[in-house]
Structure formats: structure tokens, C-alpha cells
Chain A
Amino acid sequence: MSAPTIAVLVAAVIALVLPFMLSNFRLFQFTQVFIYAIALLGLNMLTGFNGQISLGHGAFFAVGAYTGAIMMDRWNVPYGWTIPVGGLLCLIVGFLFGIPALRLEGLYLALATFALALAVPQILKYFEHWTGGSQGIVLTKPAAPFGLPLSEDQWFYFVTLVVLFVMFVLARNLLSGRIGRALVAIRDNPLAAEAMGVNKALYKSLTFGVSAAYTGVAGALSAVAIAFVAPDSFNILLSISLLTGSVIGGLASISGAIYGALFIQFVPNWAQDISKAAPWAIFGLFLIVFMYVMPYGIAGALRLVWNRLTRPQG
């Protein structure tokens, strides 16, 4: 068996026993990790593989979350439907946003997406009739079906785990073949990519769409997991956290999404534990240390260690 296969199997076993060893609150935190991991996977595709920087993915997260919340709150749609619908809607919104974004490169694209992230909480407040304004929308956590002996948090942990697994398989398939190579080719050398027949404009906007769809699925899951949405949970800090997680986990790496998600879920809490007075200073310190020690993210560092261990001596 290859190293990645073993790693995936070990991770799967841990993920399956975790719900029976942790408190509901701890478990909820891991559900959050999975949700972030899905969003980060989408952001990695866009920024890591395709080279388009987004400082605004919190906006798509919000669109996914509110789509789900409104569907459940207004129309009593079962939560299972909100996940694909949130994803599809973000696919369309992301694709459409990706078209004008084609004219922007590097920092200019970062600024445009930043503007999007700034605008979204206020837009949500404006459409009060649908979104509940600043109060947000309160939902109920779904109970386990078929009389399964699982708590609400345990049940939704498993739902999220399954969605995460499916999203990872789809991403791996997409990125490891002809399309994935084309995305990296666009990032590495756009002119040469076009000369090789890659439709740069189409691929970049589609990647924007797919990336937004991943983040939208994550948003829809988070609405159910937290059972509450409010505009201020989707402020600019969320967008910046996502980009942070993506870089720390390892850009252009699929497994990096998991490491990045663990980082943005737990490191702020640790920082809080260490110093109540200055948690952000501690967080910033962590960030700098991580970047300094692992310039290619956690995934890159692990790959390096693994190569050292397996390379024949000499």
C-alpha cells in the first residue's frame, strides 16, 4: 500500500471513532473543521491550482448559508436539499463573477473579491424581509433519522463527513486529470497554455464557479450545523481566515485543505486560551512561525518529511 492510501485509511478510522469519544461540543468543532475543509478545497482550486487570488470567499460561504437557511426557514425544505442547491447557486454566481474577474490579475483580483466580501454582510442586512436583517435566522438542528441512536451533533457530523468525502473525491478526480493540468498550466504560463489549446477565459471562469460551489456547499452545511445564520458571521474576517487556512494548509494541495481547516478552527481558540487579552497577537505569532517553518504549507512540509524518510540512504 502506498503512503497516501495508508494515511487516508488511518484518517478514515479516526474520523469514524471520533464521534463516540468526544463531547458534543468537541464534535461540533470537528464538524466545523470538515466544513472549512470543503471551503478551503474550493479556494485551493482557485488560488493554489489556478492562480486566481480571492479575498472574498466568505461571500460565497454566506450565499450558501443564507440559501440553505431561507429554504429551510421559509419553505420548509428538508436540509438535505439545501446543500446541493447552495452549491449550484454559488456555481452560477461564481461563474458570473468570474467573467468580469478575467480582466483583473493578481492584486487587482484580490481587491475586487475583497470588495465583494465587504459588501455581502450589508446586502444581507438590506434584504431584511428574507434574511431577518441583523437578527439573522434561527433554525433547528436536524435529529438523526430512522431512530438511529445518535445525538444531533453526532448525526450531522456524519452527514458532513460524507459530503466532505464526496467533495474530496470529485476534486481529486478533477485536479488530477486533463482539466487539472490545464488549470496549473494557466497559472504557470497563461500564454503558453492558450497556445496548447486551453480556453483560458472559459476555464478561469468555470474554476471560479466550481470554487464558489465548494464554498457554497460549505456555507449550506454550516447553516445547518450552527442552526443559525447572521450577517456578521460572514464578515471580512471569514474571507481572510479562509485564505489564511488555504496558504497555511498548503496551496495547490488537496490534503492541505484539511490541515488548513484544523488551523483556522483550533489555533484561534488556543490563542484565546494562552492570552485572553491579546489573542490576535498570539494568533499572528503562530501564523508567522508556521509560514517561516513551512513555506509550502503543512502539506508541503509533510511531503518533504515523507520524502526524506523513504529516500534510500546515501
Chain B
Amino acid sequence: MSALLSVRDVTVRFGGIIALDGVSFDMDEGLVVGLIGPNGAGKTTLFNCLSRLYTPNKGDIVFQGGSLLGRAPHEISTLGIGRTFQNLALFGTMTALQNVMVGVHGRTRSDFLSNALRLSWVRDEEEQIRSAAAELLRFLDLERVAHVPVAGLAFGTLKRVELARALASRPKLLLLDEPAGGLNHEEVGVLGTLLRSVKDQLGVTILLVEHHMNLVMQVSDRVVVLDFGRKIAEGAPVEIQRNPEVIRAYLGDAQ
């Protein structure tokens, strides 16, 4: 069976900086893959390539057998890839429920005219969007804040709203960029449990960028390590923790 996602020799340059340098790895369906590396290693850049916000200078990205590079950014969600952002990217004036409802956009169809006329199938679709979003708010224990504009919510809550919004597209592959960033110890514990139930209950494959090593090692089936844009290691969490090059990259980073 071929991989769900295949990153092939991807290189990204910004002027003189090489953000990604010939990175390749495969992801099988149903796994959680951790993507780690020191600050500036190129993790977010890789996510942005997958979202088609950046176009690699070299290489290819293949999802379910088709290249992503010919796709527009708005097609990615419909293809089955959902994401969250490192620095929250919610719709500030909307409520939590409305934010999650926008997450359903990519898998619904109604057009301007049918909406203006509020045709009966549009009303049905709207009902489906609303109930799908409400269900996710329940799943993530966010019902309390459903009708609160997100601009006033606590950081940890916002992170969960973003997760709910990403799940609303029913992705096959979920890209999470530092979901534990800014969370306290207890919240990180809850997040770990949550990620496992996203994988097990919803059957979502997850690519997890995270600096919180305990969380990564706890939930990942495999780990890919980047440093200065290069892949320096890949393997099971226990192997990665013992890998001398990984240790050096992180210690070097700490000096």
C-alpha cells in the first residue's frame, strides 16, 4: 500500500536562507508522526508547503497518489488536509461555533445565488453545517463558549477551537503546528488524551509539530527530525531519543 502523504526532496529558499533542504519522508495512514526540530528548523515552512501557501523550489508533495503542487490553497481542505496554526489564526469577530462552521466550508457546496434565495437544500445544508459544528464543540468540551466571540476567550480554549475548526472539514490528514504551545502542564495532559482519541475515534492521521518532547514521544508512532532545513533523523520515538545527532542538534540549540 502506498503512503497517505509523501514528501519528496522538498527544498524551499527565501532569498539566501534555505528553509528546507531536500526533505523527504512518507506517512502511512492511521499514524501519528511527530515533526520536531529546533527553532527555525523549517517545520512551519513544511506545513505552509502542504497548505500551498509556499511553493517549493524543488521536489514534490504527493497526497493520496496525486501531487499537491498543482492545487490552489483553498482546494487543500477539500482534498482532506486540515491544519491549525502556530500563532492562532481564528476569525476574531466570530463566535466559537461560527469559527467551526467555517471549517465545514470546504466540504459543502452552496453558491451565492442559492444562498440569497435560501433554497430548501441550502437550508438543509446549513442545518448539517450547524449540527456538525455543534457535535465537534461537544467532542472538545467547548459547548460553554459556543456563542461567545472568540476574541475574548482564553488561550487554551482558543487552541481547542482551532482544533475543532480543523476537524470540521473531516480531514484524513491533520497538521498541528505546536498545539501545546502556551498550554499549562495540566492542559498538555488533556491534549495528549485528546490527540489519541482524534486518531482512534475519528481515524485521523496526524502530523504533529511540537516542542513539548514528552507529548511528542507519548503520542507519536514515528518521529521525523529537522535541523537547519535538513532531515537528520527518522524513526520510532525510542530510537529518536537515543539518536546522537538529534541530541547534538538540541544541545547545540540550547547553548
Interface positions of A (Cβ within 8 A of B) = 170-171, 173-174, 177-182, 184-185, 188-189, 191-200, 206, 210, 252
Contact = CB atoms under 8 A, between A and B. Distances in A.
15 contacts: A170-B116, A178-B115, A178-B125, A178-B129, A180-B115, A182-B105, A188-B94, A189-B90, A189-B91, A195-B51, A197-B105, A198-B102, A198-B105, A199-B74, A252-B93
**Interface secondary structure of A, over-half rule:** helix
Interface residues of B, number: 38
Given A178-B129, A181-B98, A184-B94, A197 B117 contact: no
Interface of B: 51, 53, 72-78, 83, 85, 89-94, 98, 101-103, 105-108, 110-112, 115-118, 122, 125-126, 129, 165, 169
A196 B126 contact: no
Contacts, number: 95
Candidate in A180, A191, A196 with the most chain B CB atoms within 10 angstroms: A196
Contact of B77 (A171, A173, A179, A195): A195
A194 B76 CA distance: 9
Given A182-B102, A192-B85, A196-B165, A177 B90 contact: no
A197 B85 contact: no
Contacts of A196: 77, 102-103, 105-106, 165, 169
Given A170-B117, A189-B89, A189-B91, A206 B53 contact: no
Contacts of A197: 74-78, 105-107, 169
A195 B53 CA distance: 9
B102 A185 contact: yes
Nearest to A199: B74
Candidate in B102, B103, B106 with the most chain A CB atoms within 10 angstroms: B102
Contacts of B77: 195-197
A178 B110 contact: yes
Contacts of A252: 93
Contact of B73 (A179, A180, A181, A194): A194
A189 B150 CA distance: 13
A198 B169 CA distance: 12
B122 A192 contact: no
Contact of A181 (B53, B76, B102): B102
B216 to A, nearest CB: 23
Contact of B118 (A177, A185, A193, A195): A177
B53 A191 contact: yes
Contacts of B105: 178, 181-182, 185, 196-198
Nearest to A181: B102
Contacts of A180: 115
Contacts of B103: 196
Contacts of A179: 110-112, 115
Contact of B74 (A174, A184, A188, A198): A198
A191 B47 CA distance: 13
